[in-house]
Structure 1
Amino acid sequence: MANQNFDHMLATKKIEKFFFKGLLTAFLLFSFGLDGYAQTEPTWPEITEENKPWTRWWWQGNAVDKANLSSDLEQLKNVNIGGVEITPIYGVAGYEDQFINYLSSDWMDMLEHTLREGDRLGLGIDMATGTGWPFGGPWTEQEHASKNLRYKILDVEGGQNIQRDLTYMQEPMLGMIGKRFNDPDQKQAEERDLTIKDIKEPVSANENLQSLAISQLRYEKPLELQTVMAYSGDGKIVDLTENVDGDSKLSWQAPQGNWILYALYQGWHGKMVERAAPGGEGLVIDHFSQEALDDYLSKFDQAFEGQDISSLRAFFNDSYEVDDASGEAAWTPKLFEEFKQRRGYDLRNHLPALLDEERDGAESERVRTDFRETISDLLLDRFTRPWQSWAKDNQAVIRNQAHGSPANILDLYASSDIPETEGTDIMRAKMASSAANVTGKPLIAAEAATWLDEHFQATLAETKTAVDRYFISGVNHIVYHGTAYSPDEARWPGWLFYAAVHYQPANPFWDHFEAFNSYVGRVQSFLQSGNADNDVLLYYPIHDRWAEPGRAMLQHFDGGIDEQFEGTAFKEAADLMQEEGYTFDFVSDRQITASESSGEAINTEGGTYKTILVPAVEYMPLGTLENILRLAQGGSTILMYKGLPKKVTGLSNLEKNKKAFKEQLGQLEFTDSGQLQSASLGKGKVLLSDDLSLLLSEGKIHREQMTDQGLEFVRRASKDGHHYFVTNWSEKQVDGWVPLSVEASSAAIFDPMQNGKGYAKMKKGSEGSTRIYLQLEPGESRIVKTFSGETHSTTYNYLAVTGEPKAIEGDWTIEFLEGGPVIPDEITTDNLQSWTKFEGSEYHNFSGTAQYTIEFEVPSHEGAGWQLDLGKVSESASVTVNGEEVGTVIGAPYQLFIPATLIDDSGSSTLTVEVASSMENRIAYMERENIFWKKFYNVNFPARLGENRNESGLFDASEWKPQESGLLGPVQLTPVKSVE
């Protein structure tokens, strides 16, 4: 079933281009059992453009030119970036005459040039479907802009003629981002004192939108009445909409009794495109209206007409983010019509249950759930799916961030060709990877490494920690956040985005970025091959969240479960399985419906699982319960944790559905066996327990016990075995036997950072498991590839210490290579310390790279070589010995193996260590000297941490003290031997 989705994607040219090569390589490399392809040594997969990390490429102000576009792309190619995502954003002050309006003929000329250059350089190209985020622009009229719901509740006494003015005036508001520029020579941006009265209507009529940076606006105007409904104390309902004239005057002869009137209005949410580029400033679209989407995309159709965009891989959506503003977009013109079609009843007859904040109870819970589910359906059916269809018509796919949406994000991700996550939370990332795994999407992307640290302080070591976290969450397509286009003429630090990390050539770690990107590419060459191999489908109880009361009309789901599901059996189950090494994917109601049993296994569209785990839930759709029990009837084992589902969802046909729900549960005749209850059903069974570990054990679900050693992992299945990404998150070295839950004849170990490989020491474990020998320092990672059909003897270079470490001492020559503000003079010292401690301001202020060289001698050694330990390094280093490259280290422990063949034990050898610092000392110098560099519209220039903000709220490093930089040591060599 997984191939059905894949075949759909292969139908387009760019999927053929980017996936076929990788699929062919994976087939050849992992089909070890086929004649003619057996390998005598483990082999790395060939690294494709899609295996390599990509980066978001901000076009600030669209002030791009062909020469600098080519230069940027070449620099990215040179550091092993595989592709870029073009996202135009706000401009740079002083370059206004170079701004290019989005989707203009000039802009399309720049896009076509970029696509041609991508083809020349072997780089993939994606583009955002708009500027900044979310979708919107100057061509989005009020008719198709995001909308909110406003209402009045009126008490009236019956038995009289009611005359009421129902006019609802929208309150004006103006939200603006950042400070305003008048002139690029300003050293400080000025505060704004504008009001909505200063903004012309429509907003597109204003000429200075880049400078204004409007985030949200609402003009004072009467709102359009949608309906007026009257509800009596004895249950009567009267539709009064036709009783309201064109001047919003209600006339009604009210029957006897007490009545409550609900008047609903369509309001204007007013959300503007955030961080918009020139020509992209405007209102955000109504995401619940396909008419609004179609109108929005028609602008792209016009721009693309007659243009060659055939090599564009994907269109991108940078999450929902409509409601991170005042109020929420909870309305669309066809809502009543859509609601009745989808939920089976007229919402207007139940407005008190939906809108009365003081009202609670079963009806309110059900109506609230139905309303929120309808909004979820609209975001799927009127936005995500039509957008994907439009992209397909343009021979492209979609890369979509579904988190933050008022919807079941599992379904939104599942309808995306490349689901994409962001942040640092594992469960959040697993929402995207789960949807991809369950529905057979080959790529799971991540907007990677945003705000890891303060500006100019983030390191490659921090990036590796973040990227490894994505890998164990199931992500296999890293997209850095990111790289700003910056012309060669731009003074250091060049053009920058407002959120770190700055993956720019101006960053000193750029010299070592290539090595790190090789690491990412090697890991992803494995994680993009084969199929996810998770055992448990964990039911996502979104209806319980939809039923919860609150002042907000909608519930927004960012993918995390810590706050939204705190105290639930669902969160307990997810956390325990993650901590204990059980493999699982989240699954939605829709995805359960599409699943089938094949004996004990559960087959989804994209994979095979051993069970569904249903945590105690209050609400479950009748169809979901029926399908879960149908799977049991077919032979599957279903696990119920802490109770059975209690109530059927929905208000329509409630009594009939309650009865059917009860009948479904009535099939389960449990027998009690201590803490576990079991009910046979057809060919399968349902197990119930409050003890999750017992429940999983009885369901024959085995965990990966390596988590007991502080190791984290992700597991995938290949044609002749499995492959694991394993990383050591503990503070201790792992040097010993590590259990794998899968059976294998042999296994290979790959070191993706240093490019090492070999067959592992291995022995059989219990119950079909395997044990392999691993050596992992804290923070290190390996790929483990198991084989079920072939046996290989150990070839991996395991090392054991054979003597005491020897310090490398003497005179170090330090040559400063690149950086600034000036290149310091070469220096010789026998005392390794931060270069900021050398005498002279040029050392204190310097950020960049320096080369450390020393001649050294070592005694004769019969072993395999030496373990080089650089001690403390700020921040990354590459090492050569006697002119031969040894490797690059980006974080502690800064250790590398040096083969004995590289060191002359009969004389002196030369050790060269090139160290890259952070950017912070140089930027602090510029701040103290008032050298103007913060010249960006819209967001100029925020700090992550409060202590780094000045009185105007901008980033300010002028108080920073010189930070440690360079090789601090001590540098030592320890003799090691290969372990038999």
Structure 2
Amino acid sequence: MKKLLFSCLMILGISQLMAQAQWPAITQQAKPWTRWWWMGSAVDEKNISNLLKQYGQSGLGGVEIVPIYGAKGYENRYIKYLSPQWMQMLDHTVSQANALNMGVYISVGTGWPIGGSHVTQEDAASKALVQQYDLKANTTLQDLIVVNDPKQKEGAVLSVLMGYNNAGQATELTNKVDAAGKLNFKPNEDLKLLALFNGKTRQAVKRAAPGGEGFTIDHFSKSATVNYFKAFDAAFGNSSHGVKGFFNDSYEVYGANWTPEFFNEFSKRRGYDLKQYINALFSDAKDDRTARIKSDYRETMADLMRENFSTVYTKWTHQRKALSINQAHGSPGNLLDLYGAFDVPETETFGSSYFPVKGLRRDSADIRNVDPDPNMLKFASSAAHAYGKPLTSCETFTWLSEHFKTSWSQCKPEVDQVFLSGINHVFYHGTTYSPADAKWPGWLFYASVNFVPNNSLWPHLKGLNDYIARCQSVLQAGMPDNELAIYWPIYDIWHNAKGMDKPLSVHHVDDWLHPTAFYKNLVSLQNEGYALDFVSDKMLEQAKAGGTQFSISPKGGRHKVLLIPAADKMPVATFKNIVRLAHEGASVVIQQFPQDVPGYKDVELQRAELKRLVAELRLSASNKLQVASVGKGKIIVGDMHEALAYLKIARETIADEGLKFIRRKTTDARYYFIVNNTAGDFDKTIFLENTAATVVIMDPVNGTVNKVVHQKNSTATGFRLQLKSGASIIVKLTDKKETAAAYRYSEPAGEAISLQNSKWTLSFKEGGPELPAARQMTGIKPWTDFTNDPRTQAFSGTGVYTTSFVLKNKAADYLLQLDELYESARIIVNGKDAGLIWSLPFEKRIGQYLKPGNNTISVEVCNLMANRIRDMDQKGEVWRNYHEINFVNINYKDFNAGKWNVQPSGLGGTVQLVPLK
């Protein structure tokens, strides 16, 4: 009896140790969210409830409300922004979302950029206006010192009047100008006068909703930011009304290069009086002195943006126990520091990337002439990783393709690239609220992929949504696992004698990012299989090393090596922090020492100090490298790749095969998200640079979790990986003993069974403008090949291809392969739902649903909205009728689909069943 009891306890103990491998919990936060445009805020409780229910059923986790301009003809439904009625609609939205386990964010304004009807002229975005006068010796100026631009007459204020003699010496004359603008002064020498006025950009909010029209705010003024939120204080009180986060769109404030307190703020931060040098600040002279003064100006703008906008904004959201979400790109500041000042840094994709994935459709006529750069996205994720912020969000799929021509299969490689960049909180761009009584296609926003129930692809959106949710359940787990941190030399960008402010936008990376040594090193290191985050000067100031690793904050990710790419300008303080980290134990790789210091004040003293610090490093040669032991750590000077080899920092060799990856780590596991967006299928043994007792393959497309046989050495784990072109996988390495069914590799077990020449029935399930008639076919072809039937040419919706066949000898499994699928499909086998095929490769295992003897397969295909829109435009039907921009094509021209070719729809090519071992 005792032996039996002991055996039972042993079995119980073993079973507890042998945990079942499974996905992390799919939370509300793990699911994709969508930007929800309220056109004219013409919303009502019934439609809000119905739409949220549909969104939740499709697998969306939340909505981000952005009120914008309205649809014509519905003006009587418009609701003024932040009015009691608007707040009532928001409260209803939150209540319904909570009941559906969904979340709600809202933008802090309507349209973009931030601003509105309550923004006074004083708080509006400012710009410097400079006027020149010539004043002869011993004469008085006849002209009044008043702003000449008639649009600036109201609101422009004289900030300073400076007089410069022929030697360039400056005299301030501001206090000699009376209220009428008369200069009461006679010089004893000729002077060139420069008058600087604090003017206004007069930029209004773009795409504003009713009640949200007005000036954009001055992002560099603390009082302007504080005053802006007073309207929200009045509407919200001290509560968030259940809103989980408050969102701000990308900067996009054009010409905003000044703020009323700029001179005082500059003097406080940079240590000298900028008034003495406005002749250089507003000069296009290409000399070093001008560049230095402008660098100091840009650094001050960056400080004011972070301190007077970003931190004030976040403090306001925290008072309501809500998150701050911000798109920092486009700002004239250090993007890493600006992203880092918010709870959820948010970036964006714009346009379509090229991927050589087999079968991926990408028509050059339907895309914008810009490829998103995944490294641009890493500025946001690096800030999140540095400060231990669990989420990095992304406005995803903006202008991915022309309206009505985007399939879910096109979305997958783009969102995979987003994930690989460290993003783990995807927001669709997006979804337009549309009332039930609006004629098809309903209300639509001019710049989005239409993630709306009226989209003919909507029945299969859950495939994409579930995929993203599974990926994000892993990518939100634990901590980032990037071994390298690379310094971003912002001062090389700021040290430029051309222009004034330096907005760093997504659309101009060719100017400020691509030409740099930072970028070239970044790309080459990633291609070799290293994982990196970016760090700023401010981050290095806060960084601490412990052991052989360092981190920016106690909650942030830990890095093994700090990389310093070739930088021309570097502050002495930054170099001191680099040396300090080495003293504390960090390994630092410097491609080459900085050549100079930035800024204008005490340049020679700063140069001498930098030179002294470099000279103090006792470097000795080691092959092609120079190495110095510094305290507990070391500094290596030379090629970064050779230095990393010297430090024995292992790279992930799967990068040699063109596979991309990102890692996360938890207390008991390492997760690899691996993507094959190459043109070839992959089937080889790989080694990952972590050890494990158990290797689990997690398929985010279908949700399966399987163990794989593996081998290991002292530092790495090897196993066979099959990954077809366009496919992705998550690999979990853990030292825990976990149980799961064995992974089944795809091994053909004989000739494929072709269904191409079988008898097929084609019927139509739902869609419009009307259902084509059912028909019998021998073989398959797209329904749009029936050109003699105008209904097939105009139809957008679901067509059902059905065939029967006899299976004589059943194999272990079967792989259904669809050669040409336009655009996604639900597979029904013998009356049972076998799931969706929505991403490349177009195939699915269906063996569990087949049986010996007669079998029936139905392929329910959803096509694009394009053909129905084309038909409406050819008939002259009015469906786009909005205020402001109305509805434009991908090149921002008038939209008209009437001249489009009919988009192929349905099934084509071959359909076959591949028996598997």
Establish whether TM, by shorter chain, passes 0.5.
yes
TM-score normalised by the chain length of structure 2: 0.93
Counterpart contact for 1:903–1:909, Cα < 8 Å: yes
Counterpart contact for 2:18–2:736, Cα < 8 Å: no
Mapped partners of 1:387, 1:556: distance in 2: 21
Mapped partners of 1:167, 1:875: distance in 2: 66
3-state secondary structure, aligned to 2:915 = strand
- 1:37-52 alignment, distance < 5 Å: 38-52=17-31
Counterpart contact for 2:684–2:720, Cα < 8 Å: yes
User: Which range is displaced more, 144-153 or 560-569?
Assistant: 560-569
The corresponding residue for 2:710 is: 762
Q: Does 1:360 align with 2:293?
A: no
Identical positions, percent: 39
Distance 1:791 1:142, change over 3 A: closer
Distance 1:515 1:791, change over 3 A: closer
- 1:216-295 alignment, distance < 5 Å: 218=151, 221=154, 223-234=156-167, 236-256=169-189, 258-295=190-227
Of 784, 805, 808, which aligns to 2:731?
A: 784
Mapped partners of 1:791, 1:736: distance in 2: 24
Counterpart contact for 2:330–2:503, Cα < 8 Å: no
List per-residue Cα deviations over 1:565-615 (Å, max 9, x = no partner): 343211111111222221000101111111111121112210110111111
Counterpart contact for 2:495–2:598, Cα < 8 Å: no
- 1:416-815 alignment, distance < 5 Å: 416-423=342-349, 424-558=372-506, 561-605=509-553, 606-641=556-591, 643-689=592-638, 691-765=639-713, 768-790=715-737, 795-808=742-755, 809-815=757-763
Mapped partners of 1:36, 1:297: distance in 2: 56
The corresponding residue for 2:242 is: 311
Q: Does 1:337 align with 2:269?
A: no
3-state secondary structure, aligned to 1:161 = coil
List per-residue Cα deviations over 1:359-405 (Å, max 9, x = no partner): 512x2222111100111111100001101100111121111110010
Q: Does 1:388 align with 2:317?
A: no
Of 900, 918, 921, which aligns to 2:864?
A: 918
Q: CA deviation at 1:35?
A: 9.6
List per-residue Cα deviations over 1:48-71 (Å, max 9, x = no partner): 100000000000000000000001
Mapped partners of 1:546, 1:565: distance in 2: 12
Distance 1:778 1:549, change over 3 A: same
User: Which range is displaced more, 783-792 or 675-684?
Assistant: 783-792
Distance 1:877 1:661, change over 3 A: same
Counterpart contact for 2:767–2:797, Cα < 8 Å: yes
Mapped partners of 1:449, 1:120: distance in 2: 28
3-state secondary structure, aligned to 2:235 = helix
Give, as a single letter, the amino acid of the residue that structure 1 aligns with 2:193: L
List per-residue Cα deviations over 1:99-124 (Å, max 9, x = no partner): 11100111011001111111111110
Q: Does 1:369 align with 2:315?
A: no
Mapped partners of 2:632, 2:65: distance in 1: 53
The corresponding residue for 2:799 is: 850
3-state secondary structure, aligned to 1:252 = coil
The corresponding residue for 1:161 is: 139
Give, as a single letter, the amino acid of the residue that structure 1 aligns with 2:732: K
Mapped partners of 1:238, 1:738: distance in 2: 71
Mapped partners of 2:242, 2:275: distance in 1: 49
3-state secondary structure, aligned to 1:871 = strand
Of 895, 914, 917, which aligns to 1:974?
A: 914
The corresponding residue for 2:900 is: 960
Q: CA deviation at 1:37?
A: 6.0
Give, as a single letter, the amino acid of the residue that structure 1 aligns with 2:743: Y
Counterpart contact for 2:20–2:740, Cα < 8 Å: no
Q: Does 1:171 align with 2:149?
A: yes
Of 873, 879, 884, which aligns to 1:938?
A: 884
Q: CA deviation at 1:891?
A: 3.1
Q: Does 1:897 align with 2:845?
A: yes
Counterpart contact for 2:327–2:339, Cα < 8 Å: yes
Mapped partners of 2:311, 2:348: distance in 1: 21
Give, as a single letter, the amino acid of the residue that structure 2 aligns with 1:165: D
Mapped partners of 2:806, 2:193: distance in 1: 92
Q: CA deviation at 1:788?
A: 2.7
Q: CA deviation at 1:755?
A: 1.5
The corresponding residue for 1:413 is: 339
3-state secondary structure, aligned to 1:678 = strand
Mapped partners of 2:145, 2:778: distance in 1: 83
Uncovered stretches (5+) of structure 2, i.e. residues with no partner: 1-12, 350-371
Distance 1:226 1:819, change over 3 A: same
Q: CA deviation at 1:220?
A: 5.4
Distance 1:869 1:793, change over 3 A: closer
Counterpart contact for 1:167–1:223, Cα < 8 Å: no
Mapped partners of 1:600, 1:848: distance in 2: 59
Equivalent residues, number: 879
Q: CA deviation at 1:557?
A: 4.2
The corresponding residue for 1:19 is: none
Mapped partners of 1:418, 1:224: distance in 2: 37
3-state secondary structure, aligned to 2:50 = helix
Mapped partners of 1:39, 1:956: distance in 2: 60
Mapped partners of 1:45, 1:616: distance in 2: 41
Counterpart contact for 2:686–2:721, Cα < 8 Å: yes
Distance 1:620 1:849, change over 3 A: same
Mapped partners of 2:727, 2:158: distance in 1: 62
Mapped partners of 1:493, 1:251: distance in 2: 67
3-state secondary structure, aligned to 2:310 = helix
Q: Does 1:299 align with 2:246?
A: no
3-state secondary structure, aligned to 1:74 = helix
Q: CA deviation at 1:560?
A: 7.0
3-state secondary structure, aligned to 2:706 = strand
User: Which range is displaced more, 618-627 or 80-89?
Assistant: 618-627
Mapped partners of 1:936, 1:381: distance in 2: 38
Give, as a single letter, the amino acid of the residue that structure 2 aligns with 1:506: N
Q: CA deviation at 1:858?
A: 2.3
3-state secondary structure, aligned to 1:110 = helix
Mapped partners of 1:36, 1:136: distance in 2: 59
Distance 1:561 1:163, change over 3 A: closer
Mapped partners of 1:81, 1:732: distance in 2: 32
Counterpart contact for 1:561–1:571, Cα < 8 Å: no
Q: CA deviation at 1:562?
A: 3.8
Mapped partners of 2:669, 2:343: distance in 1: 27
3-state secondary structure, aligned to 1:464 = helix
CA-based RMSD of the aligned residues comes to: 1.9
Q: Does 1:402 align with 2:335?
A: no
List per-residue Cα deviations over 1:244-299 (Å, max 9, x = no partner): 1222122322234x533221111110111011001101110111111111111100
Uncovered stretches (5+) of structure 1, i.e. residues with no partner: 1-33, 173-217, 947-952
3-state secondary structure, aligned to 1:887 = strand
Q: CA deviation at 1:454?
A: 0.5
TM-score normalised by the chain length of structure 1: 0.87
Mapped partners of 1:221, 1:142: distance in 2: 9
Mapped partners of 1:523, 1:665: distance in 2: 46
The corresponding residue for 2:9 is: none
Distance 1:299 1:420, change over 3 A: same
